[in-house]
Amino acid sequence: MKSAAAESFGAMLHKIEAIEKEITNLKLSVLKKLSPSRKEPATFRGILKGVVITDEDIASAKKSLYSKTDI
């Protein structure tokens, strides 16, 4: 036969586990609401519409980016 203190302790642990489960579910629901929707990422085609990038532009960009390296 369990003592009253042991039963009380068991009931308290059960309540704590239930609260922990509720907190976990709450965290998950908040994260789902805050996470971005699964939209496709924006492409540069729409942003740079009408812009022409030449090989010279690319070479110039590489030169400025990698000026201190031997690439």
Residue 54, domain member (yes or no) = yes
Number of domains in the chain: 1
Instruction: For the chain, list residues with pLDDT below 70.
Output: 1-2, 37-38, 41-42, 45, 69-71
pLDDT score for 2 = 62
Residue 19, domain member (yes or no) = yes
Q: What is the 3-state secondary structure (H, E, C) of the chain?
A: CCCHHHHHHHHHHHHHHHHHHHHHHHHHHHHHHHCCCCCCCCCHHHHCCCCCCCHHHHHHHHHHHCCCCCC
Which pair of tokens denotes residue 36?
Answer: 């971005």
Residue 20 lies in domain: 4-65
CA 18 to chain centroid, in Å, comes to: 27
Residue 71, domain member (yes or no) = no
Residue 70, domain member (yes or no) = no
Residue 33, domain member (yes or no) = yes
pTM, entire model: 0.43
